[in-house]
Amino acid sequence: MKYCAVICELNPFHNGHEYIFRKAREVSGCDRLIAIMSGPFVQRGRPAVTSERLRAECAMRYGADAVIELPVVYAAASGEIFARGAVNILNTMPDIVYLVMGTESDDPELLRRIAEIRAENGEKFNDALAARLGEGLPYARALTRALCDVMPDVPPEKTEKALTCPNNILAIAYAAALIASGSRAVFMPVKRANDPDRFASATALRGYVSDRDAEKYMPHLAREILHNGAAADEKAFDLLVMHALRSASLADIASTPDCAEGFEHKLKDLASVCGSFSELMSAVPTSRFTRSRIMRICLQTLLGITRDMQHSGYVCSRLIGVREDAKDLLSVLPENIIIGKRGEAAIPREHLRCFAAERRASDIYSLICGTPCDFYSRLLTV
């Protein structure tokens, strides 16, 4: 059997996700579709709109055969680390031969070319990117200039246009991770549907406040599943973050993966004088770091995620759910895919800190949702 993977957040699940899952099956001809999905917290450093079990149920109702959780040490990370962590987990499953991702680009070959440059010139490219960002350039322009610095034959105008789209940037990161890791999985970009009457981004949907607003952008059953679940209380989360920042030492904050250039001093000072997280975010300078990066530093401090944890080679990942008609997957998943509490015995000692961060994330998420912790809930089946 051949398997296909989709790396996702589903925050929340919408028509665009259903489209990508459907197209993934079409273009790959796969027998099984596996989603590698963020858990309780997502890449921008915030709680997911609802639990991973509810989002996994949506995924399995609309095309996925199984959902594996992307560990929080990678889910709450930069795009490059997010992609690398997900691809390393994908690589432990040799039957996965395709990685499908949604993009905005009409030119998949350009994305492949950019990914090859990034993978083959890793350190040189990262140095060039850091230098361009140091000039104060917007990220897409800095990325384009860095690519041109490394490979002068890259067409700058066409490249910069492609890199203004966040899904293209993430797709390039996935493809570069596949190349750099020597993965046998094939990069398969799928152009996202562009129908404003049926499709809206997850960012836009998170801004809607009523069911009616979101109705046309979400599949009916997914909407019912999500709205019947407990939502995360972001104000409660913000209080926990402020407590963590005030309690943490400068060394604790400095050890988080996204902190650099002495930023821990500014963050610690602001946490001491600001009365709320929103006040802190309004006061913190964003010329050096994006808001998402700052929010990730805060989340990483709360969860105790350190730089070395992201580079430890951790590939243990929990199986959240599997379709009843796809339970054959259970017999072929590798040992690092944890199924129930019993599966924890396979976690190497050196990776227990990463797994402890998973448990902390689940505990904190259940608190801000006002629900029992479901870390050891039974395997979800639909």
The candidate with the shortest Cα–Cα distance to 317, out of 97, 60, 56, 20, is 56
pLDDT value for 203 = 65
Query: In the prediction, which pLDDT does 141 show?
Result: 80
Six-digit token string for 194: 């562009």
Task: Indicate the residue among 255, 282, 309 that finishes a domain.
Answer: 309
Same domain, yes or no: 261 and 305: yes
Q: Which of 40-49, 56-65, 192-201, 360-369 has the lowest mean pLDDT?
A: 192-201
Identify the CA nearest to 64 among candidates 22, 1, 92, 14. 22
List CB contacts of 158: < 8 A, sequence separation 6 or more.
107, 110
User: Would 252 be classed as within a structural domain?
Assistant: yes
Based on the fold, state whether residues 19 and 35 are members of the same structural domain. yes
Q: Report the C-alpha gap between 356 and 82 in whole angstroms.
A: 19
pLDDT (0 to 100) of residue 193: 73
> 253-280 pLDDT, tens per residue?
999 999 998 999 999 999 999 999 999 9
* Domain co-membership, 258 together with 362: no
Judge contact between 358 and 376, C-beta under 8 A: no
Q: Are residues 93 and 147 in the same domain?
A: no
Which domain CATH number covers 100?
3.40.50.620
Same domain, 16 and 151: no
Say how far residue 226 (Cα) sits from the centre of its chain: 19
The pLDDT of residue 221: 87
Number of Cβ within a 10 Å radius of residue 158 = 13
Residue 109 lies in a domain: no
In a domain, 282, yes or no: yes
Structural domain for 96, as ranges = 3-104+169-231+312-381
Identify whether the C-beta of residue 319 lies closer than 8 Å to the C-beta of residue 61: no
Same domain, residue pair 93 and 23? yes
User: In 3D, which of 26, 34, 84 has the Cα closest to residue 56?
Assistant: 34
Do 361 and 219 lie in one domain? The reply is yes
pLDDT at 209: 44
pLDDT score of 285: 81
153 part of a folded domain = yes
**Of 180, 7, 162, nearest to 79 (Cα)?**
7
For 209-260, write each residue's pLDDT tens digit. Answer: 445 566 678 888 888 888 888 889 999 999 999 999 999 999 999 999 999 9
Structure tokens at 338: 């944890």
Where would I find the H helices in the chain? 15-28, 52-61, 72-75, 79-90, 108-120, 122-134, 139-150, 156-162, 166-181, 202-206, 211-214, 220-227, 234-247, 250-254, 263-273, 277-283, 291-303, 307-310, 352-369
pLDDT at 204: 60
Detail the residues annotated as belonging to a binding site. Answer: 7-20, 102, 167, 192
Task: Check whether residue 319 and residue 292 sit in a common domain.
Answer: no
Average pLDDT of the segment spanning 124-136: 86
Model pLDDT, residue 201: 65
Same domain, 137 and 84: no
Mean pLDDT of 130-157: 81
The pLDDT tens digits for 40-67 are: 999 999 999 999 999 999 999 999 999 9
The helix/strand/coil state of 201 is: coil
Q: Which helix (H) or strand (E) holds 96?
A: strand 96-103
Report how far apart the first and last C-alpha atoms of the chain are (Å, whole number): 21
Poorest-pLDDT segment among 191-205, 290-304, 313-327, 334-348 = 191-205
Residues 180 and 279 in one domain: no
Look at residue 110 and tell me if it is in a domain: no
Same domain, 17 and 92: yes
Looking at the fold, whether 190 and 91 belong to one and the same domain comes out as yes
Name the percent of the chain lying above pLDDT 90. 66
Average pLDDT, integer, range 350-373: 96
111 is a domain residue: no
Last residue of a domain, one of 257, 278, 309: 309
Burial class (CB in 10 A: 0-12, 13-18, 19+), 22: middle
Could you list the residues known to form a binding site for ATP, using ranges: 7-20, 102, 167, 192
Does the residue 113 lie in any domain?
no
**Considering the domain boundaries, does residue 366 fall inside one?**
yes
Q: How many domains does the chain have?
A: 3
Please determine, for residue 192, whether its predicted confidence score (pLDDT) is greater than 70.
yes
